[in-house]
Amino acid sequence: MTRDRHTLLAPGTPPAEVLPGAAPAPPAAPTRRALLLARLRRHRRVLVPLAVAVLLLQLAVAMITTAVEQTPTIDEPVYVGTAAVYLHEHSLRLNPEHPPLGKLIVATGVFAADPHFDRHYTGNQGQVGRHLLYESGNDPWRLMLWARLPVIVLTLLFGLVVFAFGTELAGARGGLGALALYAFSPDVIAHGSLATLDVPAAGFVLTSVWLLWRARRRPRLYLPLAGVALGAAVATKMNTLAALPVLLLLAGLSVWHARRTPAPEARRKLLLRAVAGAAAVALVAVAVVWASYLVVDPRLRWAPTAGQVPAVHGLRGHLIGLLPFPEAYRDGLRMQFGLENAHWEGFLFGRHYEGSLWYYLPAALLVKTPLGMLALWAAGTVAFVTVHQLRPVAPYLLLPTAVLLAAAMEGERNFGVRYAVFVPMFGALAAIGVLALRRRWVPFVAAGLLAFVMVSSLRTFPFYLPYSNEAFGGTARTHERLHDSNVDWGQDLGRLADRLRDRYAGQRVWLVYKGSGVPSYYGIRSADPRRQPERRVHGLLVVSDSSIAKAKGELARLIHSSHEVDEVGHSITIFRR
């Protein structure tokens, strides 16, 4: 393979050798394969955009279908309610532990839905969202779909970033391969179809990295744009702060590459330019964060209640005080550290534990990533580290991923791979490194693995949230190994209502539901079995799988003395007593 001016991996053909004084050999008759390839090259301008459109259409259909069929997950009412407060009150009082930009994106959908908003209602962020969805005369199905649509659109746009980045690295073949992995990733589909912050934050980081890579050629154009994308990530979710030093380092590296010169006397000046380029990216990012708060409230009114903001001491507290962000942002970061100090429980491979496990996210990713995707990620990563022509891009793809994953692994909340949704995004690009492996069988094996990914993803449709790969029993058995947003995030309350009405009409229902939905709104008449003596609980015992994973005491006894008769959405189990 040779390198051309556009891609790191461009197929090349060695020139034919001609002996001195010998007549040139007559051209060989073209083979059928050569004729086919020539025909494809002639139609490339049409076929490539068509393939991109088909992949994005598949992704859009999967996400919209998922969005239409799922009831609100645990976090969504908080963000939707906060978005409504942004629109009607221009107040920062709700959900200060997350910056505003992601909720402003959701707010565009809430604005289009135009729900009735009760300005006189007072409550915490969870109560405001619940009141807006179920107690204000609004249709929660319609409102949630509109709130999810902006995130769906943004996820599709990030798919274009993946394709553009992959095309720059490995031509149209690499771009389409990367987009296919992105478009068929169950985690991207699952969380890209929700009105949450994980996919927007990760996508903005990816976009910033792509623009920094492009800045190696035109730093004056792309460095400010990279700063905008980086600022958008930091203004969406605070865990992206871990990537900030890495991306500033990459900004300096891009300037160094663009202006490099062999003259030793110019290196000092070049170093200053690199530092200035990184500083420019940082300044633009800071400006974007400030702008996101000013859009909500131009006067930046922020008055936390007593005890709302925990004290953070030591190095962390000192660093928070140095951040050039609004006080509401710094207080939100203090709240995040306060949440890390709270008592949490987890569930992994059938083990219910207290605290956190450092290997939780890698283990969860191993379960919830298609096997073909894991193989392509591994081979591509090795190629980026070992193949000479790929090394320039390796820091851009691998370093942010490693730092963000390490930071997420340090967290105390073992709730799901959504905290590492950047891995399938960057992994889709890392996988195209396999194209650099000079073996004739590599393209065929890579194509086979990609086809395996597509089949595995399509088989789980439309249950992407509880997906797990075939090595761990598939989607139906994910609840035996993981919990919370990996399996059961409250998304199947509507499906449960349909199942009870169709199969179990008129029967007594005892419900332990883990989610933010209101069962009675969907026509589910039930009682909590934990509030009654065990001898009085007879009929259908319906339990969210996350509650089963952590069941103890009376609930555990009720489950063990019942027998399973049905399941809903691979996230809720129905027992009979």
- pLDDT one digit per residue (tens) for the chain, 577 residues: 334 445 776 544 444 444 454 556 566 666 766 666 666 666 677 889 999 999 999 999 999 999 999 999 999 999 999 999 999 999 999 999 999 999 999 999 999 999 999 998 988 999 999 999 999 999 999 999 999 999 999 999 999 999 999 999 999 999 999 999 999 999 999 999 999 999 999 999 999 999 999 999 999 999 999 999 999 999 999 999 999 999 999 999 999 988 766 666 677 888 899 999 999 999 999 999 999 999 999 999 999 988 899 999 999 999 999 999 999 999 999 999 999 888 899 999 999 999 999 999 999 999 999 999 999 999 999 999 999 889 999 999 999 999 999 999 999 999 999 999 999 999 999 999 998 887 888 889 999 999 999 999 999 999 999 999 999 999 999 999 999 999 999 999 999 999 999 999 999 999 999 999 999 999 999 999 999 999 899 999 999 999 999 999 999 999 999 999 999 999 999 999 9
124: alpha, beta or left, given left = phi > 0 and alpha = psi -120 to 50? beta
Give the pLDDT confidence score for residue 4 in this predicted structure: 40
The boundaries of the domain holding residue 541 are: 492-576
Decide: helix, strand or coil at residue 539.
coil
Give the pLDDT confidence score for residue 435 in this predicted structure: 86
Rounded CA-CA distance 184/373 in Å is 10
Answer yes or no: is 353 within a domain. Answer: no
Q: Residue 240, class by beta-carbon neighbours within 10 Å (0-12 exposed, 13-18 middle, 19+ buried)?
A: buried
Rounded CA-CA distance 467/324 in Å is 40
Rounded CA-CA distance 380/177 in Å is 12
Residues pairing with 352 in the sheet: 347
Neighbours of 561 (CB within 10 A): 12
Rounded CA-CA distance 445/431 in Å is 13
237: Cβ contacts below 8 Å, ≥ 6 apart: 98, 99, 102, 197, 198, 200, 201
Answer yes or no: is 116 within a domain. Answer: no
Decide: helix, strand or coil at residue 80.
helix
Answer yes or no: is 512 within a domain. Answer: yes
Q: pTM for this one?
A: 0.92
For residues 285-297, one letter each, b for 16 or more C-beta atoms within 10 angstroms of the residue's C-beta and e for the rest, the string is bbebbbebbeebb
Answer yes or no: is 41 within a domain. Answer: no
Neighbours of 53 (CB within 10 A): 10
H or E element in which residue 563 lies: strand 563-568
Q: Please say whether the beta carbons of 457 and 184 come within 8 A.
A: yes
Residue from 517, 522, 514 nearest 542 by CA? 514
Q: What DSSP state is assigned to residue 302?
A: -
Q: Residue 460, class by beta-carbon neighbours within 10 Å (0-12 exposed, 13-18 middle, 19+ buried)?
A: buried
Answer yes or no: is 505 within a domain. Answer: yes
Answer yes or no: is 336 within a domain. Answer: no
CA-based end-to-end distance of the chain:
66
Q: Please say whether the beta carbons of 371 and 471 come within 8 A.
A: yes
Residue from 124, 333, 110, 309 nearest 235 by CA? 333
Q: What DSSP state is assigned to residue 24?
A: P
Strands 509-512 and 540-544: parallel
H or E element in which residue 305 lies: none
Residue from 211, 276, 212, 202 nearest 239 by CA? 202
Rounded CA-CA distance 193/156 in Å is 10
Give the pLDDT confidence score for residue 13 in this predicted structure: 41
Considering its fold, how many domains does the chain have in total? 1
* Pair of tokens at residue 217: 């050629």
Q: Please say whether the beta carbons of 129 and 138 come within 8 A.
A: no
- Four-residue CA torsion sign, 320, 336, 420, 293: negative
* Pair of tokens at residue 532: 């009654």
Give the pLDDT confidence score for residue 306 in this predicted structure: 84
Answer yes or no: is 396 within a domain. Answer: no
Q: Please say whether the beta carbons of 414 and 344 come within 8 A.
A: yes
* Pair of tokens at residue 302: 């922020």
Answer yes or no: is 503 within a domain. Answer: yes
Q: Please say whether the beta carbons of 339 and 97 come within 8 A.
A: yes
* Pair of tokens at residue 186: 């169950």
Residues pairing with 2 in the sheet: 10
Q: Please say whether the beta carbons of 179 and 55 come within 8 A.
A: yes
User: According to the 3-state scheme, what is the secondary structure of 456-495?
Assistant: HHHHCCCCCCCCCCHHHCCHHHHHHCCCHHHCCCCCCHHH
Q: Please say whether the beta carbons of 515 and 532 come within 8 A.
A: no
